[in-house]
């Protein structure tokens, strides 16, 4: 299978790969290309920008949470009808889940996909040293196909010429272009990373400005040529059993507060026959008729006052949880289902109040990284004895207000408290763990099965 593709990786986080990836995606789209975006790693925010830049849903490819076969299958399925795939890397090119092996790194995914790489190098305050940087990346793993460098944040034209010449002559690598330093071209950041695209206005203006910068300073034709020279991939043939279809409606709270959803998770629900009913936690005053509820991650602490004001919806959600219908909540969803959220400013706001905990915001990360959980009790998405691989990232600190049942034993990561995650009350499961359906393929099937079972028999948990 022939799929032109290029990975935009960085020498480190904040080298500029997100801005350059978005600019390249939009530049290619403006040229008439159908661009399929991907994001390496578990990030939720970058894919939201990819969508607005290309008009296509971005997919996560993560070699810690997913098998090689799953990565290849997802890539081929989603890129087969595109003209080119642009894949944004994670962290630095070789950064992984630990200091020794490559698991979870951009480098590992590049080898799985046999994809060429454009390496973004931040050249602030260096010139000839840029060549040493690039040469180190070239020789560190010769199975990684670095096709060219993008030098970012040049101070002036002379600086740009010196750094470019050093890389081409001393590191013997082509330079796709040099981008000048521009303090006006930034995407606002927040404590969990960039501010999600759904909260940004005037995205078209920003993305077209980024595309203009890419067209002016990069040789886009050379990047396209590198992508087109990517080797053919052997088509992955998946032998999937015929999926059972479930007749149920799944409410998904998806708005400016709760934005962290993997598109693959939502599509898995639809493929299983579930109907997605989207709910706005700020604007909707009542919970619609649904059989299950899915609450993803996001920033409830930013919108806590607005969430508190919508008391009628909070009351409906409390009653829904109490009825025993299945609810699955991750991170922000866990916070929302608790009693109160305490902000950094010392203010507190009432939430749904179904789960016995408060959450307090802290300036520093309370958890960040990949997780491994052992399931110790059956629950709406998993069975005892299974192992769940995911990730967690949050600044909130939980405070238990009473007895609670936990269904996950944390083998790697932090969880909610004392090495446990997955708070279960009736059929409401809430955790800090974020799961991707390609890492736990049965999760949505079990969730919908419970929803349909309760719907048919009118049972409560």
Query: Three-state DSSP class for 39?
Result: strand
Q: Which long-range contacts (CB under 8 A, 24 or more apart) does 208-211 make?
A: 208/26, 208/30, 209/185, 210/19, 210/22, 210/23, 210/26, 210/27, 210/185, 211/23, 211/26, 211/27, 211/29, 211/30
**147, 117 contact by CB (below 8 A):** yes
What SS3 class is residue 338?
coil
The alpha carbon torsion through 444, 271, 50, 163 (nearest 10 deg) reads 80
CB 160 within 8 A of CB 185: no
Q: In Å, what is the CA distance from 369 to each residue of 63, 144, 196, 413, 430?
A: 14, 24, 19, 7, 18
Q: Is the dihedral of CA 371, 377, 380, 386 positive or negative?
A: positive
- Alpha-carbon Rg for the chain, nearest whole angstrom, is 23
Q: How far apart (Å, rounded) are the C-alpha atoms in residues 397 and 250?
A: 29
Residue 281 near residue 310, CB atoms below 8 Å: yes
Coil/strand/helix, residue 89? strand
| Choice among 307, 331, 332, 381 that is catalytic | 331
Query: Which stretches of 401-442 are DSSP H helices?
Result: none
Q: Is 331 a catalytic residue?
A: yes
**Which residues are designated catalytic?**
331
């Amino acid at each position: 299978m022939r799929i032109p593709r290029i990975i935009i990786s960085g020498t480190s986080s904040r080298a500029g790969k997100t801005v350059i990836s978005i600019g390249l995606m939009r530049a290619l789209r403006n040229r008439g290309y159908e661009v399929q975006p991907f994001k390496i790693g578990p990030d939720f925010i970058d894919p939201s920008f990819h969508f607005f830049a290309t008009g296509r849903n971005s997919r996560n490819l993560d070699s810690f949470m997913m098998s090689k076969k799953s990565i290849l299958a997802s890539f081929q399925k989603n890129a087969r009808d595109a003209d080119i795939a642009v894949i944004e890397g994670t962290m630095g090119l070789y950064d992984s889940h630990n200091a020794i092996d490559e698991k979870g790194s951009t480098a590992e995914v590049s080898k799985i996909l046999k994809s060429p790489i454009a390496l973004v190098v931040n050249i602030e305050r260096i010139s000839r040293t840029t060549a040493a940087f690039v040469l180190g990346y070239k020789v560190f793993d010769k199975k990684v196909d670095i096709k060219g460098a993008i030098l970012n944040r040049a101070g002036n034209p002379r600086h740009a010429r010196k750094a470019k010449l050093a890389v081409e002559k001393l590191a013997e690598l082509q330079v796709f272009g040099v981008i000048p330093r521009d303090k006006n071209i930034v995407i606002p950041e927040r404590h969990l990373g960039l501010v999600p695209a759904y909260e940004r206005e005037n995205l078209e203006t920003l993305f077209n400005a980024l595309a203009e910068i890419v067209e002016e300073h990069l040789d886009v034709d050379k990047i396209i040529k590198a992508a087109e020279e990517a080797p053919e991939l052997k088509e992955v043939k998946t032998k999937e059993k015929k999926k059972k279809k479930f007749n149920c409606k799944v409410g998904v709270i998806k708005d400016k507060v709760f934005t962290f959803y993997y598109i693959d998770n939502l599509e898995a629900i639809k493929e299983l026959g579930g109907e997605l009913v989207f709910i706005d936690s700020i604007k909707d005053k009542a919970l619609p008729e649904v059989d299950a509820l899915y609450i993803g991650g996001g920033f409830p602490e930013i919108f806590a006052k607005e969430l508190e004001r919508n008391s009628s919806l909070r009351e409906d959600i409390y009653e829904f949880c109490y009825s025993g219908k299945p609810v699955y909540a991750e991170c922000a969803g866990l916070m929302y289902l608790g009693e109160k959220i305490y902000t950094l400013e010392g203010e507190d706001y009432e939430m749904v109040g179904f789960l016995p905990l408060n959450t307090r915001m802290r300036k520093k990360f309370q958890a960040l990284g990949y997780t491994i959980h052992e399931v110790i009790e059956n629950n709406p998405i998993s069975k005892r004895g299974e192992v769940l691989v995911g990730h967690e990232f949050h600044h909130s600190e939980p405070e238990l207000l009473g007895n609670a049942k936990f269904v996950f034993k944390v083998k790697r990561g932090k969880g909610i408290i004392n090495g446990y995650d997955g708070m279960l009350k009736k059929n409401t499961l809430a955790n800090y763990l974020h799961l991707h359906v390609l890492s736990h393929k049965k999760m949505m099937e079990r969730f919908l099965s419970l929803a349909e079972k309760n719907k048919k028999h009118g049972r409560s948990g």
